[in-house]
Structure 1
């Protein structure tokens, strides 16, 4: 896999491009040269690029259909020579004199057309946004465009995706969209090539972003050898992923990854430092794509968790203090800042506060500032007028802040909010008005603000990463939620989450043996990890008592690390029962894996592995 070049500043990209144009002998008055390929050449070009064009057209663009429906922009796909392969959208802004540049086969290389989004993205190898006057040729200054390279599974640049228009395109937002689209194409190309024969590991820093194009994607075989990865995986792990074994990347045994319940999120740690949310998918036939909006999809209706301030206050003195202090400010216009490690239950705490207040019948709008791509944060928070940017909805958008009017606005992981957005948020909190993008109108808002962070915002202020004036605006009352390992009500919390996840026919409480393991566990992922462990254990055990063998391997990895490697899983394995004819037993159980696992006293994952080894299951 090829190494990625360092990212260049925009000013450097434009200066370098103009310098190249002069070296090519171009002047600002030059006319671009668009060769007209023959029908046979066009046919051969499209045949060679059939998979790329079809993947973009049928598997990616349906996700971004609103861009075509609600704007006058044109989306173009070009190959690695800058030749247009296909275009979608509105071509009405292209007059007849410029039409030759927008037909299949026309090349946008800088040597023939000067500085432009497609050609310059090819030359510098990164996403670019070219405004009207940044085009080297005056002939091309009627338009603006954003383009992003597309790389294949070997990190070779194979194409460029471009969004162009004759109207103003806000650089940050349009660049963010085209990056997301090109990453979507890369991901689909990788999956189409490998998903039927290899395992997929998707991981990200946020649980809400696991299914987004920004998630890391690793493809690996049953021996753990990584055969492909997207560029986001490199970025998250901070290493190149050529010819590595997956066990060298993550603190988890390969066996656990191979046996992980399909598509069920779990916690994952890399290098003892980085913590991710992840899910594994086994080799399978590709499912048909369903069209959706390019923006983060609305969450489905969630099961009522029933958490109240009383139900989360289970006896720990630090939690009790936080609850009592928050209760006193329920009806006060004083912002609250909740501190705590990732997974300690900050959002659950905020939901309970909202339910206990007089605003309970109004909306609680929770915004994970780390989960929204930086380029889209402003439009998502503050809203926008119709036509404010490429892809804007015809009706515009009120934004998440205005959706919280009369209710509660919860800004989770606020320390990850970009500085430019912090300035706009500060103005909203000071004036209690929101000005959408592209609008001159101010809209009053009445919101109760609660923020949360897992980092020291004071240190971020000192480092220049967080505005000091905004820090003092959001931190009226600072509350600290303790990590699970330090809580004195751990047993009660285990029971509370157990009751939430178990089915009616399952055992009413964990066994004393399992509870003893829970008490000794360091719980680096806190309540989120506990919830994941219990879900997996309950799924493994069905209606049987949960035993240690039903707990995931990473649970024991954390436990061994915390106890000096002295804890063993002690799972009864099928190898200890070699005299058993698995085929006969499997047939006697009617092919029911759960029934056979119960009869043998092993987990279903262990049994699945043995059945596959003996050719009894695929």
Structure 2
């Protein structure tokens, strides 16, 4: 929580008093006490998850708010050590440039009153104006900073926005608080959002999707497991370990009876009335897999999830096999979110998508000047980026033999040697590989190294195709709910659902997602009908022998009826010839003239 205007002056005065106690001279240069290269490298590896979340999710979301002003956004750890910075450096005093690079410390003891150090000292968001810096050399800028907290409300870092502009303190402070709240929300959801429902609430109905909404994550009993600080402010109390019934005077069943992601009103304990919406666990939105330990409805999938979760924690490599589109990548994402490395990176490498001549450079990294066309600064490589996290090697069967040999050495030694020389670097990774090929067959055919196969296949998990899964109905309903727009029917018509259940799904979950997205887009506000399903999908139905599938007759009859018996029109919609359609009609005993009549 930021300091109120009435106490801001007191915060600055208290900071200046501390600086005097530290023996700082206002005329002296700041001491940033920068880390050496090896200590910095270790720190950045430990903080990779926080860095990645800030860089890839929070910064793009708020870039428009920064506009074209000369801002610099800085992220530090909980000790005030700078991890990274984004923005312009044009306004920085040339004497201070080294203080704005990773490894520099911004503690009050060395840098005097400053936004990062003072936010750490007082545990609250704070704005430090130009002349409020204790050291004169820092008075070229004004800064605002907010402390960052994880799902356990432990301090994990500080976010700072600095500028040479004389903008209102409230504007910069509001921006950094919003960015900090956005990051806190993401840290909470990364840990709890996969398995548990969320309740978002705010004073108005139009800002429930903003980072400034209150966020509660709750279990099946309605007990609050995690909450952001905005929730504290709105409720006037810390909601952790309380129940939703206690906080909002509403039975849990009545709250969950509200349509998901649809705003409704709740009366909080006291006189406050909030606009709210609830969301299902993030894992249920994948349309394929819950987090490890969850139940999908298919015994084979449940067994694979449990086994994979146990062995991943014991550093036993996993090989996931299955047809194209069964959701191998989603499976691995669910494993990552439920693992002890959820806060670490998940680095996915599609071995089939990288040109053969670049696979080694992309995986293992390279020193500057290692080869023509390489980036002049070199590259760490995908394996090093996965340090303290999970490396997911998708379509590993397509990896060229030279890269297979190097990968084997890395997995044996857990140490990587970049192309072009340089010192070997130790890596701490868990390895999950995937392929739509049977790699044991590839080994026997001499197309995949046997020694690498045994290194990556500590346990081989075969994911069933969609047509064999016993939870097909639930999956279809989940994917429909995922892509359904507000205002569209909540349920699929029974004839469409039955058609989807019988389909062979050669493209598996990927095809199911595509078919339903197309159908929903074409249907608009109307229920999805047979006429909204893609022609290629319907043609696949005709390619399946009709024996044992008598309902196919009713499907074709519905299409013919909609087309007033126009066989040519139906054939075009199915992407087949009139001759093929007539042949199938005869097999099914259908007369288009009678149907039209």
TM-score between the two structures when normalised by the length of structure 2: 0.47
Higher relative contact order (CA 8 A, sep 6+): 1
TM-score between the two structures when normalised by the length of structure 1: 0.45
Q: Which has the larger radius of gyration?
A: 2
